């Protein structure tokens, strides 16, 4: 707990048996997390059995693999039902350091921001941490296009390390989003659509064989999906189309995006 805010860490897990316990230990070492919620998305390894041994952890299982986006939907639904004031998504593959949890939570608990991202680009950590060059180039290209179409100034849209306030999660029409990887991108676009500032903190990252990562073909699909999200956002902004993902609002919060 931080400033009387209940903090829940959600872990969307799939075949994370090799790194789950180490990630859990580091999360709990931050001493402000009230509970962990892990959703196992039909893993074929020992992820579920390991998760069930972790103290202070609510474990939920999808009987079959439903996708990364579907996993997050379950994570956020469960976190809200558990009374979370601040929800932080930490991948259980140890790619992102949980040591930033206190910093990210404090930015929300202070009332300054409703959403905080851990950025691999700020500070130049992406390539230093082993991000493949082709993935880095794709990240920079997509981010450039997305900033133009969404009218934002984020350093990246593709980090899986995210913190949200309860009030923000309750406003997002997440059910309209994909069950696949592009869910992340759609969710950020919706936050910007609502007019909220998205804060970023510089985040060290590391790439290694056990860390989850989509293959080249799935990356192409994801990139194309991100471009479609950006185009849909811009057309909706111009009132040329109407979509439940970007609903018409009469009282959008007028803020601008900033980097920290």
Per-domain residue ranges of the chain: 7-237
pLDDT digits (tens, 9 = 90+) for 102-146: 999 999 999 999 999 999 999 887 888 888 898 999 999 999 999
Q: How many residues does the chain have?
A: 260
Average pLDDT, the chain: 92
For residue 256, what pLDDT is reported?
A: 43
For residue 218, what pLDDT is reported?
A: 84
Q: Which CATH class is domain 7-237?
A: alpha beta
Whether the per-residue pLDDT at 230 is higher than 70: the answer is yes
For residue 257, what pLDDT is reported?
A: 45
DSSP string, 204-243: -B---TTS----HHHHHHHHHHHHHHHHHHHHHHTTS--B
For residue 249, what pLDDT is reported?
A: 77
For residue 111, what pLDDT is reported?
A: 95
pLDDT digits (tens, 9 = 90+) for 32-73: 999 999 999 999 999 999 999 999 999 999 999 999 999 999
- Residues 6 or more apart from 155 whose CB is under 8 A from it? 119, 121, 122, 143, 200, 259
pLDDT digits (tens, 9 = 90+) for 136-176: 999 999 999 999 999 999 999 999 999 999 999 999 999 99
Average pLDDT over residues 4-26: 97
User: What is the rounded CA–CA span in Å between residue 108 and residue 113?
Assistant: 5
Does pTM surpass 0.75? yes
Whether the per-residue pLDDT at 179 is higher than 90: the answer is yes
For residue 209, what pLDDT is reported?
A: 62
For residue 215, what pLDDT is reported?
A: 75
CB neighbourhood size of 10 (10 A): 27
For residue 255, what pLDDT is reported?
A: 44
Q: Which of 79-88, 129-138, 202-211, 225-234 has the lowest mean pLDDT?
A: 202-211
* Residue closest to 26 by CA, chosen among 115, 120, 100: 100
Whether the per-residue pLDDT at 187 is higher than 90: the answer is yes
DSSP 175: G
For residue 258, what pLDDT is reported?
A: 43
């Amino acid at each position: 707990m931080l400033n009387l805010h209940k903090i829940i860490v959600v872990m969307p897990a799939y075949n994370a048996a090799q790194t789950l316990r180490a990630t859990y230990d580091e999360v709990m070492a931050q001493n402000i997390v009230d509970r962990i919620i892990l959703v196992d998305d039909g893993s074929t390894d020992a992820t579920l059995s390991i998760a069930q041994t972790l103290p202070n952890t609510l474990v939920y299982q999808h009987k079959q693999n439903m996708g990364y986006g579907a996993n997050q939907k379950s994570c956020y639904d469960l976190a809200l039902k558990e009374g979370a004031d601040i929800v932080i998504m930490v991948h259980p593959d140890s790619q992102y350091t949980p040591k930033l949890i206190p910093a990210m939570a404090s930015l929300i608990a202070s009332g300054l921001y409703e959403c905080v991202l851990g950025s691999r680009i700020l500070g130049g950590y992406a390539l230093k941490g082993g991000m493949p060059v082709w993935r880095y180039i794709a990240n920079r290209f997509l981010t450039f296009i997305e900033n133009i179409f969404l009218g934002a100034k984020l350093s990246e849209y593709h980090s899986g390390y995210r913190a949200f306030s309860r009030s923000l999660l309750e406003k997002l029409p997440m059910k309209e989003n994909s069950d696949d990887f592009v869910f992340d991108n759609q969710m950020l676009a919706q936050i910007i659509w609502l007019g909220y500032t998205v804060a970023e903190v510089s985040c060290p990252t590391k790439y290694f064989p056990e860390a989850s990562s989509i293959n080249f073909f799935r990356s192409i699909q994801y990139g194309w999906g991100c471009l479609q999200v950006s185009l849909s956002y811009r057309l909706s902004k111009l009132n040329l189309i109407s979509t439940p993902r970007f609903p018409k609002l009469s009282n959008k919060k007028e803020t601008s995006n900033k980097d920290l």
